Structure 1
Amino acid sequence: MSPWQIFVRFLRFGLLAWGGPVAQIAMIRRELVDEERWLSSGRFNRLLAVYQVLPGPEAHELCVHIGMLAGKRLGGLMAGLGFMLPGFVLMFALSWLYFTIDITQSTLGPIFLGVQVAVIALIVRAVHRIGEHILLDGWLWGIGVASALAALLGTSFWITLPAAGIVYVLARQRQVALAVAVLAAAGTVAYLVGPGNGLLQPLVPAASQAAQAATQSATWRALFLAGLKAGLLTFGGAYTAIPFLRDDAVGRGWMTDAQFLDGLALSGILPAPLIIFSTFVGYVAGGPLGAVAMTAGIFLPAFGFSLILYDRLERVVENRTLHGFLEGVAAGVVGLIAATTVELAVAVVQRLPSLPSGMLVFVLTLAVLYLWKSKLNVVFAVLISGFLGWVLAIGG
């Protein structure tokens, strides 16, 4: 196949990428494995196992890898661009529209507030779903809980995540004393470095940042590096990018928590990997150039792992020590998402005119996500929450 043919083939996947990574991977498997025989089912399963333990959106990484089967590295590049382009264009357009209309002073205000409540429910469901596949034993559960508490106390993830990986490797090797020593060392480093803006840190409540307007703009270099950091630390699905992007975007004053939640909501209604909300973050922080820089940074690892390590990736399955470290890191990331969910929920609650109305939207959204097994349940949940926000005006 020519590079253009590969691009068009995967562009179709991008236009139909509703329902999150599970639905996207199922679509790719059905068409390229079962129907068109691009590769065998066994090889597809091995590749999926590799990409599930590496950072980045696995559906996108699979597209790049499979594109290389048809057109070598240029084919992989075109496949990845085709898959991500529809979501990028749509999110870029919605980002422009978001700032063209003064949402807070229009009827869209209650709609977006209702959607922000729904996003909290979406993240709660994601934590549960991701945790089911990652927190598989007592040590992983302990790492997840400890990481969440550390995040709420303001400990940097640069301390938490490496410690999580090392502790789990040692625990699997039954070196419990060394694992406890690593935990103690990580706690000492966290104490010496000093706390950040954790929710449980009484001197600097995290919710105070959400109440402040974003007053700082970012350079395209800073946005690219922030996206690259998130892309390299996105284990277990796009939701795991949330705490890392929020740490930069809200922590540096590029945007408010309310705007961050709006970006997540917009990405939930698009046919694209959820991680495309990084385009919105970049647009808010640095305009059109910032959107491109942030998107390029966060997708670069997804391209790089496949394009550079193509011949070696399947060998990762055989490296059990690396698996143990990545599983520990992934458990730590689950804890970070849980802590971020609590902080975002506090920020939303402070903006609600009526807590009962907000809770009603939250419970109904959770019910849709848990009870309706459809690839469109996220889209429906976001739309119905916006409608309820408008009808109820969140109790106003």
Structure 2
Amino acid sequence: MKDTPQYPTLAEAAKVWARIAALSFGGPAGQIAVMHRILVEERRWLGDGRFLHALNFCMLLPGPEAQQLATYIGWLMHGVRGALVAGLLFIAPGVIAIMALSWVYAVWGDVGFVSALFFGLKAAVLAIVLQAVVRVGKRALKNTAMKAIAAASFVAIFAFGVPFPLIVAVAALIGWAGAKAGLAGFHGGGGHGSVGKTHVDDAATLLGEEHVNLTGATHAGAFRAGLVALVLWLVPVVALVVLAPDSVFADIATYFSKLAVLTFGGAYAVLAWVAQAAVGTYGWLEPGEMLDGLGMAETTPGPLIMVLQFVGFMGAFREAGWAMPLVAGTLGGLLTTWVTFAPCFAWIFLGAPYMERLRANAALAAALTAVTAAVVGVILNLSIWFAIHVVWQQVWRFDAGPVSMELPVPGSVNWLAAVLSVLALIAVFRLKLGMATVLGGAAALGVLLHLAGLI
């Protein structure tokens, strides 16, 4: 048996969480890998079993699972204070970076150099989103039932405009009912929401039996912290709705609060809904600007869902009608971040003590597995929506009864964007280049095209 390392103080743990936050590039998969390497392999603060145990629980919750995983492990180690330190440090670099980039974009976004940089980033982001479709699909679509759910979800959102929350609810109901009926393919295994049993193999590590018991000893504290988090989330929302019901800030608070309880399946799944609402419903963004924001989030540390801060910034920047639009944008971006992440802390504090009970529920596991399958169809819709607005310069809407969908105008192909997109796809799928390399290379190509006078 290995020697147990010295138990870290909160200050020592904070330094490690800051290091993890600074390295949290590459979306949730990369962020979870960084946490595993540092917490399990290097520090040995917990073992594989406990790490997977916590990860499965966080995948059952709405919101960014990597940030919630950091929050949960922080809570397990140092209670509520540890959860706040880990969770807040995890998002702090992204909040700062996205805010700075939003200012740059709002002030200089129309400048040729900046526009060219984001022109290149859009092609890379398109390739990365397609890669996400493939990765999630391989993990989630392991049988005919899951493939059927994914296909139906894609058709529902792409051709019929069915709201994302309804798709999630129906998929969860199908998975739950399929498990209850004992149907083949509804066993809750694999993918986001996989809650198969894991073996707690970390008896020789810090979070062994002592800290398993700690979760039972801190139920009351976690419950109180969860209630406080709910109050801190909802009070500003209610205040804005009551005091300024027609303001963009009320719209931001209510819309992104809805997202906070419906973001199952990771950031890519909800971005399709956000993109369509921010562009079509609220008019906060132009179609290509959603891709710009996603490029920012992909190239900065922190959860990918930080792109929502950019959306909130641009919405308030344009709609507030203030004499100081940058101040309005800053407030809009921070408000978006607040209502996005405050619920994440609430879910962890309220649910963490009951993790074992949740994980043991086979019907719930099957419901979340079906949601994962539906998410594949939603992400495919997102990739097609992005492709239409990146590669083609004009779109038209096809309407026939309940069917309503955007289609590209064939003669409006932007050939430079098409070539960059193909190069990005080759880099991602054929050459297997890393995300940072693909994004940096695409941005550089965009700038070179600008210097050459082509864009």
TM-score class, shorter = 0.7 to 0.9
Question: What SS does the corresponding residue of 2:147 show, helix, strand or coil?
Answer: helix
* Cα distance between partner residues in 2 of 1:356 and 1:117: 12
Question: What SS does the corresponding residue of 1:255 show, helix, strand or coil?
Answer: coil
Q: Which of 136, 141, 159 is the aligned partner of 2:166?
A: 159
TM-score, length-normalised on structure 1? 0.82
2:175 and 2:367 in contact (8 A); partners too: yes
Partner of 2:414: 355
Aligned AA (2:435): V
Q: Which of 380, 383, 390 is the aligned partner of 2:440?
A: 383
Q: How does 1:218-297 map to 2 (within 5 A)?
A: 219-250=248-279, 251-286=281-316, 287-297=329-339
Aligned AA (1:272): G
Q: Which has the higher helix share?
A: 1
User: Cα deviation per residue 1:95-144 (whole Å; 9 max; x = unaligned)?
Assistant: 0111121x334233233222212222111111111122122221111111
* Cα distance between partner residues in 1 of 2:182 and 2:143: 16
Question: What SS does the corresponding residue of 2:393 show, helix, strand or coil?
Answer: coil
In 2 relative to 1, CA 323–7 (structure 1 residues): closer, same or farther, beyond 3 Å?
A: same
Partner of 1:309: 351
The answer to which of 318-327 and 32-41 deviates more is 32-41
1:226 and 1:297 in contact (8 A); partners too: no
1:33 and 1:41 in contact (8 A); partners too: yes
The answer to which of 313-322 and 354-363 deviates more is 354-363
Q: Which of 76, 79, 82 is the aligned partner of 2:83?
A: 76
* Cα distance between partner residues in 2 of 1:134 and 1:87: 29
2:175 and 2:363 in contact (8 A); partners too: no
Q: Does 1:171 align with 2:178?
A: yes
User: Cα deviation per residue 1:351-396 (whole Å; 9 max; x = unaligned)?
Assistant: 398633322211221222224556xx22221221122223345965
Q: Which of 366, 370, 380 is the aligned partner of 1:324?
A: 366
Q: How does 1:1-396 map to 2 (within 5 A)?
A: 4-101=11-108, 103-152=109-158, 153-174=160-181, 219-250=248-279, 251-286=281-316, 287-351=329-393, 355-373=414-432, 377-392=434-449
Q: CA RMSD in A?
A: 2.5
* Cα distance between partner residues in 1 of 2:64 and 2:45: 21
Q: CA deviation at 1:249?
A: 1.6
User: Which consecutive unaligned segments of at least 5 residues does structure 1 have?
Assistant: 180-216
Q: CA deviation at 1:94?
A: 0.6
In 2 relative to 1, CA 227–314 (structure 1 residues): closer, same or farther, beyond 3 Å?
A: farther
In 2 relative to 1, CA 313–174 (structure 1 residues): closer, same or farther, beyond 3 Å?
A: closer
Q: CA deviation at 1:248?
A: 3.0
* Cα distance between partner residues in 2 of 1:395 and 1:146: 41
Aligned AA (1:72): G
Question: What SS does the corresponding residue of 1:310 show, helix, strand or coil?
Answer: helix
Aligned length: 354
TM-score, length-normalised on structure 2? 0.72
1:12 and 1:83 in contact (8 A); partners too: no
Aligned AA (1:263): G
User: Which consecutive unaligned segments of at least 5 residues does structure 2 have?
Assistant: 1-7, 187-245, 317-328, 395-411
* Cα distance between partner residues in 1 of 2:67 and 2:43: 19
